[in-house]
Amino acid sequence: MDDGFLIRQVLAGNRDAFRFLVVRYQRPVFRFLGGFGLEPATAEELAQEAFLRAYRNLGSYDACQATFSSWLFTIAKHLALNETARSRRRAPHVEWQESAMDPRARAAAPSAHETLEKTERRQRVRQAIHDLPELLRGVLVLAYVKELSMADIAAIECCSVGTVKSRIFRGKQLLRATLAESED
């Protein structure tokens, strides 16, 4: 069943048809939101909100303008950008992992030092992505986390493919410089 068929079914009153769309896109949307540096619980909440908004506004979806997935990811992107803006207004916090701090967990883990280094590196990358300007962060997440085509990213970002390529290039440069700086 393709997305168009399922959308027509939902619009005709078959609520159960939307479940198929949720099942099809729930993991990609969750991974996409996680690429914004959101905590898993927050990403899950935003994914649910994205599906809820898509369901409520399905009547305004225009297949001639974008694919359903592009439309859905645009909704999710806006929710993620709003959430990251809210979280930046809050006080920054340090994420501690109990297992890394607990001596018993360190003794039980065969390579605790390597695990801690990986966790710290992952946190630095997540923070560096989170600190990117919204325009650059969005295209990088769409390109490398969601692995969308340049045309789909351009549709979501409402810009040309050339602009998408430029933003990806600038985003990678800035990310590389930020990570190199944090290594020092």
Q: Is the pLDDT of residue 68 over 90?
A: yes
Percent of the chain with pLDDT over 90: 36
Q: Is the pLDDT of residue 23 over 90?
A: yes
Q: Is the pLDDT of residue 106 over 60?
A: no
Backbone dihedral region for residue 37 (phi beyond 0: left; psi -120 to 50: alpha; all else: beta): left
User: What is the mean pLDDT of the segment spanning 78-99?
Assistant: 64
Cα dihedral across residues 73, 146, 148, 156: positive or negative:
positive
How confident is the model at residue 111, as a pLDDT?
Answer: 66
Percent of the chain with pLDDT over 70: 86
Q: Is the pLDDT of residue 91 over 70?
A: no
Catalogue all structural domains in the chain, each as residue range(s) with its CATH number. 1-93 (1.10.1740.10)
User: What is the mean pLDDT of the segment spanning 60-87?
Assistant: 88
Helix pair 68-89, 16-34: axis angle to 10 deg: 50
Give the CA count within 13 Å in the CB-facing half-sphere of 67.
13
Backbone dihedral region for residue 149 (phi beyond 0: left; psi -120 to 50: alpha; all else: beta): beta
Q: Is the pLDDT of residue 105 over 60?
A: no
